[in-house]
Homo-oligomer: A and B are copies of this chain.
Amino acid sequence: MPLPASRAHARNAGRTRERLLQAAFLEIYKSGFRGTDLKTLLAHAGVTKGAMYHHFASKEALGYAVVEDVLGPITQQKWLQPLQQHDANPIDVLIAIVQGTSLRPEHVRLGCPLNNLSQEMAPLDEGFRRRTAQIFADWHGGISAALERGQHRGQVAAVVNAAESAHFLIALYEGFQSLAKNAQHAGLLKSGQRGIVAYLESLRSAPVGHA
């Protein structure tokens, strides 16, 4: 079958949309939403204004889509899916996730995409706030549920308040990302990871001792 092959601009709506979302995600990550210049974004995406305004009603709509279709899935993939492995110890999973956080200089410098966008836009735009809040809620829900499952299995101490601990963990995680971003110092992030791991270890149920 021929396969139209190498068309200058292969008419592909889905692909165009995807390119826009990816480019928008990167630009927003680098410059913030308001600091993102549409022209630059479009150049990086290799998409024209007409095409963009065909897919998104406004810059704002594109930003909303980035939250829903990029940031959401990223959180899903990094946190929620691993936590849904029903045969794993949630503490182990969480530790692995935290330790898996990139320490690459550019990531340290730029911080957490979700937190960045949320911090910038939440007080200014309810649309952004609601959407990022949903992701935070899902994130929190995933951790909380996993901790509870761990309690039922005796992997997590019974005295732990799952919901509060999940908030504690997220605050800690985002807080360290913020500090490291400001300090531009990967060591701080690394040290933060150790602190978080220590905290997570403290949630384990005490091992059964023998006489």
Q: Residues on A close to B: CB < 8 A? A: 30-32, 34-35, 109-111, 115-116, 118-120, 122-124, 129, 132-133, 136, 164, 167-168, 170-176, 178-179, 181-184, 188, 191-192, 194-195
Contacts and interface: CB of A to CB of B under 8 A. Distances in A.
Contacts of A176: 167, 171, 175
A58 to B, nearest CB: 15
B133 A181 contact: no
Q: Which DSSP category, helix, strand, loop or mixed, fits chain A's interface?
A: helix
Contacts of A116: 119
Contacts of A30: 123
Nearest to A115: B178
A101 to B, nearest CB: 14
B182 A132 contact: yes
A136 B34 contact: no
